[in-house]
Amino acid sequence: MTTQAAPARSATEPDADPAARNGEPPPARANPLREGLRLERKPEACTMVICGATGDLTERKLGPALYNLMLGGLLPAEFSVVGFARRDLSDDQFRDQLRKGIDKHSRNRPVKKSIWESFSQGIEYHRGDLDDPKAYEALAKRLVRIDRDRGTAGNRLFYLAVPPSLYPEIVERLDHAGLAASRGRSGATGGWTRVIVEKPFGSDLVSARRLNREIGSVFEEQQVYRIDHYLGKETVQNLAVFRFGNGLFEPIWNRRYIDSVQITVAETVGVEGRGEFYDDTGALRDIVQNHGLQLMAMFAMDPPVEFRAQDLRDEKLKVLRAVKPMSPGEVAAATVRGQYVSGWVEGEKVVSYRDEPEVAPDSQTETYAALKLAIDSWRWAGVPFYLRTGKAMPARVTEISVQFKRAPLALFARAGMPQIEPNILAIRVQPDEGILLRFGAKVPGQGLQIRSVNMDFRYGSSFAVDSPDAYETLLLDAMVGDPSLFTRNDEVERAWEILDPIIGTWQAGDGGPLHFYGAGTWGPPAADELLERDGREWRRP
């Protein structure tokens, strides 16, 4: 399929209401006549403080994302980074650690020497225990000095690259050190302050509400950015443009024309040495609660009044509110949980989940989950949404697959042709970002023969630039003050309201047995039966 790139991509818009922005000034724009184009926005000078900076996330994602933003000219020259962790490192050692991560994981390699030299001048390391009040007092003094020396004007972005159990103590320490207030709040010393927190946000509804309260006692909601990197991917952002920017698709985006929707988040890896964490978490909490439900909400939402953060997130919340929590009997009929046993993935031998380090030998934790959800709304009533996720799958792929209803007339049956396949629209989130449309076409030659063919749009071949990494997009948005692609507190709590009954029923042993599947397969047979009962089957990406 041949496509031509438009001059600029559409994007979501930050809240224009000053009250909704916690008194913070509007972000600077390269051209005020072209608001809403994310690539034309550049943040104010600021300092990003990474709490837990010596971990894997900083090496693999945060460091490369910041370098690529600097390389693209999207960060001001004054931008500064402070790594905050307990490991005993000097500034130079921390810079070297960041550089190694960029050399290994950046999408733009080799590293451009001039860009790195400019970027590294603003990188410092602050050694301290995250539970030590004195470390935060020293951090506050360091940030004041950076404001003076680098001109960052008191603007701070704190990234909590630590387990969620540490969030409450960290935000409390930040508050006591005077580091939590933004301009416009009592006690603020100037500039804005925002905080990014990683998933998982709680382990159930009770813990999520408690975490929201604890963070909310220090930061206002407009300051809190709950990151879900899937929402930063180009294809997910393009969903709104695809639907609302094309007259072809939005009129048929409803129960009259769509038969069913499948959302697949498949991983080839196992637990990767995180056995203790994963055995307490499982696939439902790790993937479905955030990635899966957020993808569904983005796909199914109604058009917002405006492309502003508040309107977009309001529409997503409406979708989640329309998903009714299941009764125990419905859990047994509409869900499947599985756990992988030994097998082969991409030519490598994979041991059984229960043989992984730090995993209980009789573990009941699911590494695979499949759900059938219903959105009880005017647009989607009667359309099943099938969600599945699993580890040790044959391929790493995230995809939204839409099956349209079959043509109503058996016109070709009179000519001896069997019923033709339904149309499929597959929105590929990763790894090959793009959109595929499958439809029937006549095979050339004498007689009448119909075959399904594909029209395939790929970002990599259709545009002259690489898609930015999701963390690049999301970090830039947080600096600009655009929360459109971040999750709001009420969205998080509603997602747990949907999943808590499933988790509780599974733990009580009333949701059906734990099924086993071989590593390198697409899950247990029971997951296939879940769709076969409805006369459907999983799409094989």
Cα 6 to Cα 88, 235, 348, 474, distances in angstroms: 49, 16, 42, 22
Please choose, from the candidates 488, 441, 136, 476, the residue with its C-alpha nearest in 3D space to the C-alpha of residue 312.
488
Name the phi and psi angles at 405, rounded to 5.
Answer: -70, 150
Tokens of 211: 């975490």
- Please provide the size of the chain in residues: 541
Please choose, from the candidates 353, 364, 319, the residue with its C-alpha nearest in 3D space to the C-alpha of residue 506.
364
**Would you say the C-alpha torsion 330, 333, 334, 339 has a positive or negative sign?**
positive
Decide: 522 and 540 in contact? Cβ < 8 Å.
Answer: yes
CA 376/CA 118 separation, integer angstroms: 53
Q: Say whether 18 sits in a helix, a strand or coil.
A: coil
Please choose, from the candidates 94, 397, 362, the residue with its C-alpha nearest in 3D space to the C-alpha of residue 235.
397
Decide: 28 and 139 in contact? Cβ < 8 Å.
Answer: no
CA 478/CA 471 separation, integer angstroms: 10
CA 270/CA 251 separation, integer angstroms: 41
CB-count burial class (<10 Å; 0-12, 13-18, 19+) for 507: exposed
Decide: 468 and 234 in contact? Cβ < 8 Å.
Answer: yes
Distance of CA 483 to the CA centre of its chain: 13
Distance of CA 535 to the CA centre of its chain: 31
CA 405/CA 18 separation, integer angstroms: 46
CB-count burial class (<10 Å; 0-12, 13-18, 19+) for 518: middle
Whether 229 sits among the annotated catalytic residues: the reply is no
Which one from 105, 229, 291, 515 is the annotated catalytic residue? 291
Q: In what order do the strands lie in the sheet with 368-374?
A: 450-458, 434-442, 424-430, 397-404, 258-266, 384-390, 368-374, 335-341, 514-518
Residue type, 502: I
Residue type, 501: P
Q: What is the DSSP letter of 25?
A: P
Residue type, 531: L
Tokens of 456: 């395939």
> What's the N-to-C CA distance of the chain in angstroms?
19
Q: What is the DSSP letter of 110?
A: S
Cα 506 to Cα 265, 331, 413, 509, distances in angstroms: 21, 8, 46, 5
Decide: 494 and 296 in contact? Cβ < 8 Å.
Answer: no
> Could you list the active site residues?
291
